[in-house]
Amino acid sequence: MLRVMQQVLRFQPLYQERVWGGRVLETALGRALPAAAAPGRAPAPIGESWEIVDRPEAQSVILGGALGGLTLRQAIERHGADIMGPAWPRGRAFPILVKWLDCRERLSLQVHPPASVAPALKGEPKTENWYIAGCEPGAHLIVGLKRGVTRGRFERALAALTLEECVHRFPVGRGDSILVRSGQLHAIDGGNLILEIQQNSDTTYRVYDWGRAGLDGRPRALHIEQSLRSIAWDDFEPAPLRAAAAVAVIADAREFRIRREPLAAGATLRVAAGEQPRILSVAEGAVREIRAGGDATAALKRGDNVVLPYAGAFAFEAIEATVLLITENFSQPV
């Protein structure tokens, strides 16, 4: 086993401007965001931070350690068996994309194509989970259709610009979460800070954008035909998982599973070697990694997302009351 695989893989965030974004990642997560493009201009609205990504158009770069400076793709190509497991195909991309979303304003009403129609549309399916890490009073999400809405009624409302009467909108609070599967109509209302853990896909079809202009001042492109072919017309009023629910597994999909692991200050989480790769996300609080001999590394704090390689054994001690999300079951063929 390579010594480098005892390394927790940390990454440089990739920040993305979005018309609906803001600057909350600076205050909520202590991030240093890109400054204004020119003196005198307002700072860029940062809607997304891509935390872990392995795509042709975007690559996470590893910070520090023996693999520091390599992209996630390069690391898997060179050490795929140790990072992902011995059966992992060398050319296969890391299957999960992790993002922080700062939704200052409402996102478009959109859908990701299910696997049954994605190839015909030349797109990729995307199942994703939203964990509400913070929200303003009165924050809402939109997922699914109101009970009884038909495709015909939806299309008439789309033509009349009255789609809000057709969608399922519900309030959320800090610590709530919801699994949004491919084919489910959805939007995020303004005032939400969300940790999104999703399939490695970037196919989104906008069906409605609330009459908004993009960063260039022009209406953003819509994908009406693709959306209508992708929407699950029998998906009515799905319920979120509330923070108060005493459950360990907050998302269990074919593509991945997410466990919520609360730790009291001083409690320890141990991860055995040789089971599977995992993603560790610090939703609240902070932990320090405990290495052999009792040595401690730099803390992982709220907002950090790291990969724990297949071949490594790890232990983390909570510095304060902490909530970790552990993403797993993504290294098998789907």
DSSP secondary structure string, 162-217?
-GGGGEEEEE--TT-EEEE-TT--EEE-SSEEEEEEEES----EEEE-TT-B-TTS
pLDDT at 197 over 90: yes
Is the alpha carbon torsion for 52, 56, 62, 66 positive or negative?
positive
**What SS3 class is residue 40?**
coil
Does 66 or 4 have the greater pLDDT score? Answer: 66
Contact yes or no for 199/255 (Cβ under 8 A): yes
**How far, rounded to the nearest angstrom, does the alpha carbon of residue 146 sit from its chain's CA centroid?**
25
pLDDT over 70 for what percent of the chain? 95
Are 42 and 36 contacting, i.e. CB atoms less than 8 angstroms apart?
Answer: yes
Better pLDDT: 178 or 220: 178
pLDDT of residue 37: 59
Q: Which fold is adopted by the domain 249-328?
A: Jelly Rolls (2.60.120)
Residue 195 has a pLDDT of 98
pLDDT at 114 over 90: yes
Identify whether the C-beta of residue 180 lies closer than 8 Å to the C-beta of residue 143: yes
For residue 43, what pLDDT is reported? 86
Q: Where are the domains of the chain?
A: 3-230, 249-328
**Residue with the two structure tokens 């979303």:** 101
Residue 68 pLDDT more than 80?
yes
Both structure tokens of 325: 């999300």
Distance, in Å, from the CA atom of 162 to the CA atom of 146, rounded to the nearest integer, reads 13
- Report the pLDDT averaged over residues 226-241: 97
Q: Compute the distance between CA of residue 96 and CA of residue 255 in angstroms, rounded to an integer.
A: 9
Q: Residue 295: pLDDT above 70?
A: no
The set of catalytic residues is 206
Instruction: Report the Cα 205 to chain-centroid distance in Å.
Output: 17
Q: Say yes or no: do domains 3-230 and 249-328 share a fold.
A: yes
pLDDT in tens, 140-152: 999 999 999 999 9
User: How far is 315 from 312, CA to CA, in rounded Å?
Assistant: 10
Confidence band (pLDDT; 50, 70, 90) for 3? low
Residue 59 pLDDT exceeds 50: yes
CB 316, CB 325: distance < 8 Å = no
- Cα separation, 98 vs 279, in Å, equals 9
pLDDT at 305 over 50: yes
* pLDDT at residue 225 is higher than 60: yes
Per the prediction, the chain carries an average pLDDT of 93
- Which pLDDT belongs to residue 334? 52
**Integer Cα distance of 90 and 83 in angstroms:** 11
User: What is the CATH number assigned to the segment(s) 3-230?
Assistant: 2.60.120.10
The stretch 39-65 carries a mean pLDDT of 92
Instruction: Answer whether residue 265 shows pLDDT above 70.
Output: yes
Identify the pLDDT of residue 164. Answer: 94
- The arithmetic mean of pLDDT across residues 213-226, rounded, is 87
Q: What is the mean pLDDT of residues 262-285?
A: 97
288 exposure class (CB count in 10 Å sphere: 0-12, 13-18, 19+): middle
Residue 1 is predicted with a pLDDT of 45
Partners of 165 in the β-ladder: none
Q: What percent of the chain has pLDDT over 90?
A: 86
**232: Cβ–Cβ under 8 A, 6 or more apart, which residues?**
114, 181, 183, 184, 185
- pLDDT at 292 (0 to 100): 72
Is pLDDT at 4 greater than 60 in this prediction? no
pLDDT of residue 13: 97
- Classify the C-alpha dihedral 326-330-332-334 as positive or negative: positive
pLDDT, position 333: 61
